[in-house]
Structure 1
């Protein structure tokens, strides 16, 4: 926003030195009053209300009528058109605060707030390219001030990359734009959905013939303003470049959308601003320049919501930080201080890269700085037609001692009346204190009791003559205005003395007429020291028609001039890459600053914007993260099975601190050279490091079986520059493996067990066999399969034992290859064994053979069944004394036992080669003698062959092995 001298008193210079003095006769310190023109935070007679959805139009009208309120406008809060707000004129003799408090208590009201005022405030200095130091500073003298070389935004360097695009639209929400200015006309936006001059709302947005923007203040389709602020802003953003005349905007080729929100004077209210923001977003603007601010508001209010909605629609909102030299961290200035990611808040710098003396700042709330002093740009100049007198009063026909006809007075110690003792034009004048000095502690007013109808493109003037004698610096005559004659504000003042003569005073009051104000005078006095007071004569109010006389260029100062530099840079960025998001746009501008010591601790970035650095691009690089397991590649684990989670990691680094393009980095995972389903995969950030120092990205997944996988990474920055680095080359990995299985071989004596014989005597060679199968046809790891042989739960010497391949060489692993190991074992009842294997990828085998099994049993040769009386196992039948029987002649063997505890008792009978031929079992009662009878037949009922058989008895407290001979 720009700086403006707020002295409204024309034709007389008033000098006020602010000092502290002690007055005799009063035992307290007295301080001179600072009679600054007041800048209200909000419209004094308006509020903005949102009613709850159940309230119909009839109910709302009835409510307004009951409260003596009047709706003057209705509009949507955001471009979503989901909530309608209403601007309400409040009841007379009621304050905004009282009305808001009452509305918030009403259950039918969703939201209520004041209609906040935002100020532009710009002042011209005096009177192409050589004067635009903010774009290119060689240290030249501009407007009498020398600068520092390169204290600029490096615009010429940026223009070597791009000068703009007519597809980029920036909305200039301001006082209006001189759309026919020769340096702007070619870049003024034209509404493609509207047909000029047909009187039809062609695009259906409720506005007729909005061909080149809209005037939201006056409600018509002419956005040309008679206050130069908006035109100056527009020129800095996008004055036509390289056309041989005038100046050059930051973005030569762009479309400027003029949206007028104020009248001739330099302020606007939120209701108009919100409507203009919604219009800009709906019509495709990607940038809004807001060179205005105010201290009213808070996060979450209606203006906040409108900006937030526009941001969600892809609009970058560039806001002036303010011109009061305030710290926005502690005294927020809105909209710049709203906590929204779509806003860039801009401070101002001078020609030497110092923070401008007037500029607001904020280490956490103001983002960047930009040139804002002695900024040369476009303006219209105006001519004024012959004035029409709307009201004139010389007080000569009024009665002495009375209030003038058509006037009213009020306030404290108010004695305003007509006098004939002093006048500028005889005989009468209006005085504050007829017949003597004014009194102490006066706060009185007098005003003309009518308002004036505002006519667009007009200047209104208040003129009068005054003689005054006031206590200098303590008492004052103020020029007053009010919408209700209850709450008064002043827009100019006089203090001290006119030296005994009348002075002519003229003041522009256009903006106050626009708002329907009453006009008058006020007298303020403190608690001591009185004088003759004031005499007013020849009072009149005039209106002068305005028209554009010509087009020119002037110097202006202010953060209003800084913000459009940033908006122009945003235009260049979008011209280079139209699909940049709001977040990317903001990051590119903030990351491209030139850091300056003078701005450290004053703005978030500590720097002044640089268009070239924001536009110029170094391609990003990808590298290994350097973390454990990621030092020389980007994958961990590198082998596994289908249930293994594999994590890919990479580091993205960009010297410009540019973010990666949306959806990048990606990791490509291929099998046999072909992308697997879903590849490439978008990775997610694993830290919040600056891109310039390297940010980690990660992706985790499981994959199906395969040993021919490769992977590599890919990334682009927001400029579509591809990343380089080792991770962009394919790497073979991971190996995804189906673990092998072990099973019984199924041949001969190995249908279920893996050991043969299962029972034998010393000197017998026991053979352990197992089948190894791998679906991937992977061989077993070297030294596998193993067989573990244990005695009493402890590995015997040499266990585990490597097994030998017992299959034909042509047998593939995926159909199963047999392995075996043979050994002799010393006598022991209750050996156990199991098998173990791994494939070449270190995947362990599963299957029944991996479970520890009982066998073999190795008996002592001296335990032939010849002494049945020595154990609880006996025999019956022929040949009992010889330890044999003949089942063919009805012989059988009786096996006696006495179990220690109740439970299952089992007899197994094996042939001499270890084959199980018969199993007999029963439930026994502990401590009770019992027996089994074996008749020499196998489990199939067939008589067994002659030979030696081993009888094994097992049960509670029983574990016996004996031999018997079957003879036929």
Structure 2
């Protein structure tokens, strides 16, 4: 009992420290704890490091625009959301619900897009990590093999197996520990709070109540210590039931990792009915573009396209845009085959921009994805990808898909890789979770405390490079809409070159306590800026006209 109490005591101290650090990441230098809900659209003159969207529209007054289609490859989108009405792409060549491929594009009833992780009998909800899938495949071949028995031609693959095995075992064990920890913590917070209230016969606990406890019972003492730590870190108005509910998200997250993502026996692919061994197969899937939980994709779509003219919710960045919904991302890692087909589908059906707010560390069918990226490049479609949330330097750490073709140094010219920024020009300006890279991340965009649309006409704040990518996609759509003569490659260059620079801004390197120059975390060293981008686009098109 004493060992378990000590362990739980240490665990709660650890989690509160982590939670405090996460809160500190979003702190500003002024007295405001949190920024305005739509801070990311605002201007630096408003005392937040937004991307000047509203200021950009001052240049665009009375200027005509064309509709731009942006494909959102994601978990699905709630196409019925109140703030996305009129903003969802409709395939006019397809008659909804008649079971016929009216436009003969290879996809039946794809009225609003397509779902590459579904089949005739349902949808993939959870899936394994790519690491797990590779581990399972290689274990069959090398699991019990002695190194001395490996043939010369298989040496490289065997070495790769050892790397995969070590990575899998380490991350699987860590996820299992986190699951046990958060489950135990979540269960005990409310229990200990109720135990002490009953023991002291009070309706609400205070620090004075805790100090008055005089007991030798180990459970009472453990409860006092844990509740006391929460008071010290959260304050005496701590709502223990609310804290417990918040921790349910962590329990679910790590539970899904243990039960699905790292589960070597789990394989949901059969529901799709495709030949998974063929990465170039087309035509599989179904037309359910919502899926079981479209929270992530709906949030992404709102950042780009939420209606700017109604009195509801939020304002998206682009005012004349349609969202094509392409579902390819489950709870777990997306599969290369689905990503490649999603890109091709979007290109073939008229998307000019593709937002990809997902990523993983392994890509066994990268060749198929590279071919799809090259296809998009040949058609002049701009690809925008989230840099990832692992606090890693992607110059020396993989995050797929990426703009590098194969093992070469050739890169896609239609690609933007986006890191996440926060709202204040202090050392926490970069999201503590954000990946970065002087040679691999192109530019940063707002990705901390971003308020946007979520399913069933709701709105929430999310963090992640997943939010930074659609902010960039929204600016790209704005440029293509008002300056339709610009190519994807020109828009890409405008976004990078017009990014806002910060003179000698020192920021915490993500995941570290080390201060570095912000300009060293990306190729451009800047933050996207819609106003400057529009100005640059305006000057370029005027020069062409003259």
- The TM-score with structure 1 as length reference comes to 0.33
Structure 1 residues 223 and 17, CA gap change in structure 2 (3 angstroms): same
1:138 deviation in Å?
Answer: 6.5
2:446 counterpart residue number: 371
- What is the DSSP-based 3-state SS (H/G/I as helix, E as strand, rest coil) of the residue aligned with 1:600? helix
Match of 1:236 among 297, 300, 303: 303
Relative contact order higher in (CA < 8 Å, ≥ 6 apart): 2
1:262 deviation in Å?
Answer: 3.1
1:604 counterpart residue number: 523
Query: Structure 2 matches for 1:793-804, cutoff 5 A?
Result: none
1:311 deviation in Å?
Answer: 1.5
Query: Structure 2 matches for 1:221-370, cutoff 5 A?
Result: 221-225=287-291, 226-263=293-330, 265-297=331-363, 301-338=367-404, 339-353=411-425, 354-370=429-445
1:231 deviation in Å?
Answer: 0.5
How far apart are the structure 2 equivalents of 1:618 and 1:560?
Answer: 26
Structure 1 residues 232 and 165, CA gap change in structure 2 (3 angstroms): farther
Write out per-residue CA displacement over residues 359-418 of structure 1, whole angstroms, 9 at most, x where no aligned residue: 0001111000000000000001xxxxxxxxxxxxxxxxxxxxxxxxxxxxxxxxxxxxxx
Aligned residues: 329
1:296 deviation in Å?
Answer: 1.4
How far apart are the structure 2 equivalents of 1:332 and 1:14?
Answer: 36
1:185 deviation in Å?
Answer: 2.1
1:578 aligns with 2:484: yes
Match of 1:569 among 475, 481, 484: 475
How far apart are the structure 2 equivalents of 1:350 and 1:308?
Answer: 33
Is 218-227 or 294-303 further displaced after alignment?
294-303
| 8 A Cα contact 1:325 1:361, kept in partner | yes
Match of 1:153 among 51, 54, 59: 51
- What is the DSSP-based 3-state SS (H/G/I as helix, E as strand, rest coil) of the residue aligned with 2:304? helix
| 8 A Cα contact 2:436 2:522, kept in partner | yes
1:15 deviation in Å?
Answer: 6.0
How far apart are the structure 2 equivalents of 1:191 and 1:559?
Answer: 29
Query: Structure 2 matches for 1:366-445, cutoff 5 A?
Result: 366-380=441-455
Structure 1 residues 171 and 156, CA gap change in structure 2 (3 angstroms): same
1:203 deviation in Å?
Answer: 1.0
Match of 1:194 among 94, 111, 129: 94
1:194 deviation in Å?
Answer: 1.0
How far apart are the structure 2 equivalents of 1:299 and 1:721?
Answer: 42
How far apart are the structure 1 equivalents of 2:470 and 2:537?
Answer: 26
Query: Structure 2 matches for 1:782-931, cutoff 5 A?
Result: none
- Between Structure 1 and Structure 2, which shows a larger proportion of helix residues? 2
1:192 deviation in Å?
Answer: 2.0
- Structure with max Cα Rg: 1
1:335 deviation in Å?
Answer: 1.9
1:769 counterpart residue number: none
How far apart are the structure 2 equivalents of 1:175 and 1:14?
Answer: 37
| 8 A Cα contact 1:175 1:229, kept in partner | yes
1:227 deviation in Å?
Answer: 3.7
Structure 1 residues 367 and 212, CA gap change in structure 2 (3 angstroms): same
Structure 1 residues 719 and 378, CA gap change in structure 2 (3 angstroms): farther
How far apart are the structure 2 equivalents of 1:299 and 1:722?
Answer: 45
Query: Structure 2 matches for 1:944-959, cutoff 5 A?
Result: none
- Between Structure 1 and Structure 2, which shows a larger proportion of strand residues? 1
How far apart are the structure 2 equivalents of 1:366 and 1:618?
Answer: 23
2:460 counterpart residue number: 554
> Any stretches of 5+ residues in structure 2 without a counterpart?
1-6, 15-34, 119-284, 405-410, 507-517
How far apart are the structure 2 equivalents of 1:368 and 1:722?
Answer: 30
- What is the DSSP-based 3-state SS (H/G/I as helix, E as strand, rest coil) of the residue aligned with 2:93? coil
RMSD value, Cα: 2.6
1:613 aligns with 2:532: yes
How far apart are the structure 2 equivalents of 1:232 and 1:311?
Answer: 27
How far apart are the structure 2 equivalents of 1:134 and 1:266?
Answer: 28
How far apart are the structure 2 equivalents of 1:718 and 1:332?
Answer: 38
Is 226-235 or 293-302 further displaced after alignment?
293-302
Structure 1 residues 719 and 207, CA gap change in structure 2 (3 angstroms): farther
- The TM-score with structure 2 as length reference comes to 0.57
1:170 counterpart residue number: 70
How far apart are the structure 1 equivalents of 2:315 and 2:82?
Answer: 12
Match of 2:115 among 215, 226, 233: 215
Structure 1 residues 217 and 368, CA gap change in structure 2 (3 angstroms): same
